[in-house]
Structures are given as structure tokens and as C-alpha cells.
């Protein structure tokens, strides 16, 4: 994934200018971005997989896989959609997309090739490079 998809400023402000792990205040020039689900295992540079971290915590975490990474993805994906950081599928208005995401309960997330698929209430949202490329409806 190209660097242009990384939104450092948003991630820094989302974490209230603090380290995600130890809550220490960080000056912007001191932040590092940690891949919550490690890059080594296929963690992406999308907004729901990056957290703002101090150097010390980032070094300590290394390539550990957090037990709650799926809950984390769902929570930060929903927040990113509401904050307008995930582009809607082609032909869908941003406002409609935000409304849809707010009205469904996403309870599942998994990888499918390059895509991260968020699923809930009969909908699967295929996300890649901070963009919802397609939404597929299914009967659950
Ligand atoms: Zn820290």
C-alpha cells in the first residue's frame, strides 16, 4: 500500500495526541505509527489498523498480535467511516454510506485477499486502501 493512504494527522488526533498504549502525551514529531495487527502477518496501513504510539511502546509491542485485534478493527472502522475517512463505494453518497454503517451492527471481520471484509446485518463491506469498494447483501 502506498504511503499516501496513511493519514498521520487523523490518527494522531483520534488518539488525542497520546500514545495508544501508555497514554503519554506525544508531540507530533515524536509519534510512530504502530500496525495494530502486525505488518509481518499482513496487517495493512489502513486507518483502522494504525495507532499512534510512542517509540518505547512500539518497540515493546513489536510483532505481537493483540487478542482483540478484530474488535479493534470493527471499532476503528466504524469510527473512520463516521469521521469520513473511508470512501464510499462508487455511486454511493458519503452521507448514505455513513448512515448505513451507523444503522448496522458489524459483528464479524476477516481478510479476503487484499480486502478486509466487515460483516453484519446481512451486509458485507469490502474495504481496501481505506475505500469501501463494494457492498454485498446476503441472507443470514
Ligand atoms: Zn507509549
- Kindly give the distance from the C-alpha atom of residue 91 to the centroid of ligand 1, in angstroms, as a whole number: 41
**The pLDDT of residue 139:** 84
Indicate if the alpha-carbon torsion angle 112, 115, 119, 123 is positive or negative.
Answer: negative
What CA–CA distance (Å, rounded) separates 116 from 107? 13
What CA–CA distance (Å, rounded) separates 86 from 77? 8
pLDDT digits (tens, 9 = 90+) for 11-46: 999 999 999 999 999 999 999 999 999 999 999 999
Residues within 5 Å of ion ligand 1 by Cβ? Answer: 19, 21-22, 54, 57
pLDDT beneath 50, residues of the chain: 1
Amino acid at each position: 500500500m502506498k504511503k499516501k493512504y496513511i493519514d498521520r494527522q487523523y490518527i494522531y488526533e483520534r488518539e488525542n495526541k497520546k500514545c495508544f498504549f501508555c497514554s503519554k502525551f506525544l508531540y507530533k514529531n515524536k509519534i510512530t505509527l504502530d500496525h495494530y495487527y502486525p505488518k509481518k502477518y499482513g496487517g495493512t496501513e489502513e486507518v483502522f489498523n494504525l495507532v499512534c504510539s510512542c517509540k518505547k511502546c512500539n518497540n515493546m509491542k513489536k510483532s505481537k498480535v493483540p487478542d482483540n485485534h478484530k474488535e479493534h478493527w470493527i471499532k476503528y472502522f466504524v469510527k473512520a467511516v463516521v469521521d469520513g475517512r473511508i470512501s464510499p463505494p462508487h455511486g454511493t453518497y458519503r452521507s448514505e454510506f455513513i448512515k448505513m454503517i451507523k444503522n448496522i451492527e458489524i459483528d464479524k471481520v476477516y481478510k479476503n485477499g487484499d480486502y478486509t471484509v466487515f460483516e453484519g446485518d446481512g451486509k458485507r463491506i469490502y474495504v481496501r486502501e481505506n475505500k469501501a469498494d463494494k457492498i454485498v447483501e446476503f441472507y443470514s
